[in-house]
Structures are given as structure tokens and as C-alpha cells.
């Protein structure tokens, strides 16, 4: 177990180096000069541009820039962006908001998805199953920005149940509506995955054995059907955490949340390479960590999986 964990953590090193090099290469290859665009219509004097290039090491060759970036990573000093803000500060501001939003969405989709999927799977072909199927298809079919605006208007503006936008330093309450919008699509997938898995497990031989022992229906469902059905769902949820964190751009835009999505978008437009690469690398690490947690959860759910 410890060996396994150690090996998995060691694997982080090549993944980190590969990801950053690839990302740095991509942003470097992007056409256009970020410094030339800084001065707006009139442009900056040549000397000032030159000074900015030197300050941000933009006049160095690619590999030197990359190594300087790595040095920044290991000393935890990424430098400042074009507007003079510390990049570590930019990340520290954007990441917690998005993380909270993603976690809320994950909990919503897990709790509702599993519950609805479980009921639908047990009563396969019934009215509940049919209704859930239609709803999940609808949710998958409607794009996020449509659902975002509709919910914002109906729940936020017309009914006034939840705040319309989040703004600075949002709390749980203001993030609830965006989290629901963000969770919607994945919720639909979790429902359908759980339903299929439960329906399959219900006809498994060991479920019949459990019933033959004289266990009551609720005991059979809780101990033998649910736990075994969780395994594929957990895989999906783990992979989804990464998507929720990186893919919240649209939702963050609609609800005016100052998170990773918006910051990343701004940084790409402005050509702030260090910010782009740093933020994306953090996302890569979150993604890897989520997958590691999933792999460890597997062992807890299924003793057949051993770490060797």
C-alpha cells in the first residue's frame, strides 16, 4: 500500500515536467507579441517595450524561459503579471472559489445522482425510471449557457430564492445556484450510470444468495446492491472533478464568479504565459490527485483490487 502510494507520487514528477513543458511550448508558439499589445491604440515606445521584455525574460530563448519558470515553481515565486500583481496571489484568489464551486457541484451530483439512479434501477421500467430518463436526456441536451441563464432568470430574478450573481468573496449560499447549473450535466450521467449498474447487480447471483439467506429487501439492497454498484460511479466522479474545475468558464461567466475559468481566459487573451501555465499546471495536479483518490477508494470498495 505504502509502496504503491510512493510509486504513484513519484509518477507525479514526469507528469509535471511533461505537462509544463508541453503547455509552455504551446503558449510560446502562439502567434502575436503580448508586449506590443499592452499600449493600446498608440503603442508603447520601443525602449519601454524592450524593458518589459527584459523584465519578463521574453527576450530569452524558449528553453531558458522554461527553466526560469521551473525555478519559479520550486522557489514558489512565479513573479508578477503584466498588471504588476503577484501571480501566486492571482492563483490564490481564483483557486479556492473554483474549488469550492466544484466540490459543491460534485456533492450535488453524487447525492442526487446516486439516489435517483438507485430508485430508478430498482424499479426499472416504472414511472419514476421513465421520468428520470426523460429529465436526464433533457439536461444533457440543453447547453450549459442556456440552462444557466434560464435558472438565473427564473430562480434568481423572478422568484428571488437565490442570489443572481456571486461577485467578490462568494459564500455557500451565493454559490448554490451556479453549483446546481455546473452539476446538472454530470448529474444526468451519474443517474444513468447508477441505474444501469444497480439493475445489473440486482440480477447477480450473490444477490439471490443474499435473499436466500432470508435477508429483508432493504438489507439486500443496502449491503449487496448499493456497494457493488458504486464502483463504476466512483470512477466517473473522480474524473469529473477535473472537468468541473477546468470547465466552469461558462458558468463562472454567467454568475460573475472570479474563479479559475475567468482568470485563465483573461490570461490567455493577454498572453500572460506564466499565469496560463501555472494555473493549468495546478489543474493538472488536481486532476492527478483526484484520480489517485479514486484508485484508493477502489480498494476500499472492492477488496479484489490490490496494489502491486
Partner 1 sequence: MTTQFPVTGGGLPTGRPAGTSYDAGTDKPLLQISDLEVSFTTGVGEVKAVRGVDITVYPGQSVAIVGESGSGKSTTAHAVIDLLPGTGKVTGGSITFDGREIVGLPRVEMEAMRGRDIGLVPQDPMSNLNPVWRIGTQIDEALRANGFEGGRAERKERVAGLLAEAGLPDAARRARQFPHEFSGGMRQRSLIAIGLAARPKLLIADEPTSALDVTVQRQILDHLEVLTQELGTAVLFITHDLGLAAERAEHLVVMFKGRVVESGPARQILADPQHPYTKRLVSSAPSLASRRIQVAREEGATPDELLSHHADGEETRRRPIVQVRDLTKVFQIRGARPGASSDFTAVDNVSFTLPRGETLALVGESGSGKSTAANMVLGLLEPTSGVVEFDGTDVAGLSPKEQFAFRRRIQPVFQNPYGSLDPMFSIFSSIEEPLRLHQVGSKKEREARVRELLDLVSLPASTMRRFPNELSGGQRQRIAIARALALKPEVIVLDEAVSALDVLVQAQILELLGSLQDELGLSYLFITHDLAVVRQIADSVVVMQNGQVVEYASTDAVFDNPRQQYTRDLLAAIPGAGLEDAKIAG
Q: Do 72 and 274 meet the contact criterion of CB atoms below 8 Å apart?
A: yes
For residue 212, the minimal CB distance to partner 1 (Å) is 4
Footprint on residues 261-290 left by partner 1 (CB under 8 A): none
Please tell me the count of residues contacting partner 1 according to CB under 8 A: 26
Nearer to partner 1, 83 or 217 (CB): 217
- Cα pseudo-dihedral 186, 191, 197, 202, rounded to 10: 170
Q: Which among 189, 185, 181 has a CA at the least distance from the CA of 250?
A: 181
Q: Which is nearer to partner 1, 37 or 232 (CB)?
A: 232
CB 140 within 8 A of CB 188: yes
The residue from 228, 251, 263, 281 that contacts partner 1 (CB under 8 A) is 228
Residue 127 interacting with partner 1 (CB under 8 A): no
Q: How far is the CB of 217 from partner 1 (least distance, A)?
A: 7
Query: Residue 86: helix, strand or coil by DSSP?
Result: strand
Residue list 181-220, contact with partner 1 (CB under 8 A): 203-206, 208-217, 219
Instruction: Tell me which stretch binds partner 1 (CB under 8 A): 19-27, 222-230, 273-281, 286-294.
Output: 222-230
| β-bridge mates for residue 86, sequence order | 80
SS3 80: strand
| Residue 126 makes contact with partner 1 by CB under 8 A | no
How is residue 252 written as a grid cell? 463562472
DSSP 157-197: IIS-SS-S--BSS--HHHHHHHHHHHHHHHHHHHHHHHHHH
Q: How far is the CB of 209 from partner 1 (least distance, A)?
A: 5
HSE-CB for 282 with a 13 A CA cutoff = 23
| Segment interacting with partner 1 (CB under 8 A) among 140-148, 242-250, 289-297, 298-306 | 298-306
Candidate segments 93-101, 102-110, 140-148, 295-303, binder of partner 1 by CB under 8 A:
295-303
Residue closer to partner 1 (CB basis): 144 or 228: 228
CA distance 224 to 220: 5
**What distance in Å separates the CA atoms of residue 85 and residue 81, rounded to the nearest whole number?**
6
Decide: is 123 part of the binding site for partner 1 (CB under 8 A). no
* Cα–Cα distance, 70 to 36 (Å, whole number): 26
61-100 residues in contact with partner 1 (CB under 8 A) are none
Residue 14 vs 303, nearer CB to partner 1: 303
3 binds partner 1, rule: CB under 8 A: yes
Nearest 5°: the CA angle 184, 158, 174 is: 55
Give the binding range for partner 1 (CB under 8 A) out of 98-106, 238-246, 273-281, 296-304: 296-304
304: contact with partner 1 by CB under 8 A: yes
Residues forming the site for partner 1 (CB under 8 A): 3, 203-206, 208-217, 219, 223-224, 227-228, 301-304, 306, 308
Amino acid at each position: 500500500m505504502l509502496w504503491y502510494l510512493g510509486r504513484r507520487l513519484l509518477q507525479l514528477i514526469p507528469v509535471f515536467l511533461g505537462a509544463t513543458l508541453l503547455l509552455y511550448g504551446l503558449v510560446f508558439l502562439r502567434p502575436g507579441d503580448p508586449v506590443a499589445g499592452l499600449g493600446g491604440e498608440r503603442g508603447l515606445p520601443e525602449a519601454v517595450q524592450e524593458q518589459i521584455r527584459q523584465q519578463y525574460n521574453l527576450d530569452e530563448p524558449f528553453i531558458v524561459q522554461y527553466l526560469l519558470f521551473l525555478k519559479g515553481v520550486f522557489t514558489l515565486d512565479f513573479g508578477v503579471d503584466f498588471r504588476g500583481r503577484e501571480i501566486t496571489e492571482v492563483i490564490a484568489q481564483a483557486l479556492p472559489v473554483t474549488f469550492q464551486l466544484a466540490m459543491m457541484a460534485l456533492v450535488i451530483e453524487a447525492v442526487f445522482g446516486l439516489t435517483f439512479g438507485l430508485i430508478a434501477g430498482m424499479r426499472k421500467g416504472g414511472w419514476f425510471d421513465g421520468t428520470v430518463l426523460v429529465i436526464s436526456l433533457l439536461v444533457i441536451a440543453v447547453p450549459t449557457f442556456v440552462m444557466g441563464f434560464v435558472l438565473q432568470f427564473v430562480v434568481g430574478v423572478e422568484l428571488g430564492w437565490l442570489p443572481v450573481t456571486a461577485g467578490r468573496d462568494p459564500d455557500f449560499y451565493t454559490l448554490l445556484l451556479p453549483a446546481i447549473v455546473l452539476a446538472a450535466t454530470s448529474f444526468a450521467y451519474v443517474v444513468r450510470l447508477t441505474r444501469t449498474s444497480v439493475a445489473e447487480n440486482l440480477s447477480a447471483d450473490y444477490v439471490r444468495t443474499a435473499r436466500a439467506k432470508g435477508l429483508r429487501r432493504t438489507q439486500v439492497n443496502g449491503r449487496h446492491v448499493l456497494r457493488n454498484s458504486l464502483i463504476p460511479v466512483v470512477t466517473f466522479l473522480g474524473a469529473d472533478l477535473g472537468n468541473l474545475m477546468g470547465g466552469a468558464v461558462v458558468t463562472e461567466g454567467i454568475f460573475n464568479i472570479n474563479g479559475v475559468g475567468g482568470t485563465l481566459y483573461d490570461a490567455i487573451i493577454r498572453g500572460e504565459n506564466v499565469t496560463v501555465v501555472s494555473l493549468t499546471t495546478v489543474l493538472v495536479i488536481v486532476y492527478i490527485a483526484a484520480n489517485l483518490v479514486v484508485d484508493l477508494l477502489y480498494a476500499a470498495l472492492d477488496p479484489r483490487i490490490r496494489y502491486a
